[in-house]
A and B are shown apart, each in its own frame.
Chain A
Amino acid sequence: MRLQNKVALITGGTSGIGEATAILFAKEGANLAITGRNEKRGHAVLDQILENGGKAIFIRTDVRQTAECRHAVDETLNSFGKLDILFNNAGVFYPQTTLECSEEDWDLQIDINLKGTSLMSKFTLPGLTQQGSGVIINNSSGWGIVGGDKAVS
């Protein structure tokens, strides 16, 4: 149990990599705060963890919104008393060139993929600093290291 007594918050934890990570972290003994925009999928992940004897909560959160990010961190602290690991995993991807991408799609991708990471970290860091330790993991992409086609934003 490599994460015994740790508390982890995972954004975009309702599907895909976030979901798999939540289940794995719970198996390793962590208490999980799962966030995402889709309540139904969030509760499905939550049920999986609870059925296996893990501890978890779901907090409906849109990481583009400052108040919701603050609320997610506060709720985690209220439920578990501390926060040790933040996994900034929420992300969206629309395959588009500069010419195909609308301004709304540009804003959505930048705000979820990048601004959400900054906002969640902003509210998590004071707690990590106070307890003298912590881990922040940001989900990037191979296409954050080399460029790809039809993927401007």
Chain B
Amino acid sequence: MTPSSKHASLAGKVAVITGAASGIGRAAAILFAREGAAIAITDINKRGEDVAEEIARSGAHAFFEHADVTQAADCHRVVERTLREFGGIHVLFNNAGIMRRASVVELSEEDWDRVMSVNVKSIFLMSRQVIPTMAKAGGGSVINTASGWGLAGGPRAAVYCASKGAVVLLTKAMAIDHGPQNIRVNCICPGDTDTGMLRNEARQLGEREDFFLAQSARRPLGRIGQPEEIARAALYLASDASSFVTGSALVVDGGGLAGS
């Protein structure tokens, strides 16, 4: 499908994606671009530049703006540039996230603050910049990356669970507040997905990566997810295919939570 195709599900749309230098965010940027959207890629990791170049080579529109989404000024800069270059924002995918594997006793205060800021506060800071624009344009779609561990607890992941549980309810609270402006707000709850973050977990826990990944695959579908599979769920929530869906937490986890 060419980016200009009228049949593309995001033709003529503009999407901002945070944490888009790698993993799920990168996969979503590439998929959304293929579906016709112009993409503003932001990440604290400068490899986001490579993702923007890859998309531009395919003939779609994208730029990379380096930003720390825990900083209000950085969020403002990303939104301003997107409006300047693309003229509007229809989709905001708040995907930036980090993981710390620790119990409350093991966790440092710095790690608590960092995880809460990246995983939760960034959604607040980005959304309050974008929502007025969406409201003026008659609507939009905000998608937040939560987690299966935003719905159920997990071992040695106290602040991660706290942050992702917060994302699930922040999503619902925002859906209630901004539904009257035709702004839909949903979140995705991925299970273990083949990303740098998952491999980093094995290191944090001091476990062998192959052993850790094999454990992660223990779920009804018998494997971990691919970033593209989570990106497709985000595409559904970004597009008109989900026009009556708001305040939902879409579980995409190979059945990992099916028994809980």
A positions within 8 Å CB-CB of B: 66, 97-99, 101, 103, 106-107, 110, 114-115, 118-119, 121-122, 125-126, 143-144, 146-153
Q: Distance in Å from the Cβ of A1 to the closest Cβ of chain B? A: 31
Q: What are 8 of the A-B contact pairs (CB < 8 Å)?
A: A99-B132, A99-B177, A103-B72, A115-B113, A118-B162, A149-B177, A152-B124, A152-B173
Count of chain A to chain B residue pairs whose CB atoms are closer than 8 Å in the complex? 75
Whether B114 sits at the interface, judged by CB under 8 Å, is no
Contacts of A148 in B (CB 8 A): 173, 176
Residue of A nearest to B166 (CB): A114
| Separation of A152 and B174 alpha carbons in the complex (Å) | 6
Inter-subunit contact B121/A98 (CB<8 Å): no
Inter-subunit contact A106/B124 (CB<8 Å): yes
Number of interface residues of B (CB under 8 A): 33
| Separation of A143 and B174 alpha carbons in the complex (Å) | 13
Inter-subunit contact B124/A98 (CB<8 Å): yes
Other than the given A152-B170, A152-B174, A152-B177, 17 more pairs (CB < 8 A) read A97-B178, A98-B127, A106-B121, A107-B121, A114-B162, A114-B166, A115-B112, A115-B113, A115-B116, A118-B112, A118-B162, A126-B105, A143-B169, A147-B171, A147-B176, A152-B124, A153-B170
Q: Which 7 pairs of residues, A with B, have the shortest CB-CB distance? A: A147-B172, A97-B177, A147-B173, A149-B176, A122-B104, A121-B104, A152-B173
Inter-subunit contact A118/B158 (CB<8 Å): yes
| Separation of A122 and B105 alpha carbons in the complex (Å) | 5
| Separation of A144 and B169 alpha carbons in the complex (Å) | 7
| Separation of A152 and B169 alpha carbons in the complex (Å) | 8
| Separation of A64 and B128 alpha carbons in the complex (Å) | 25
| Separation of A119 and B116 alpha carbons in the complex (Å) | 14
CB contact list, B158-212 vs A, under 8 A: 158-159, 162, 165-166, 169-178
Given A148-B173, A152-B173: A118 touches B125 (CB 8 Å cut-off): no
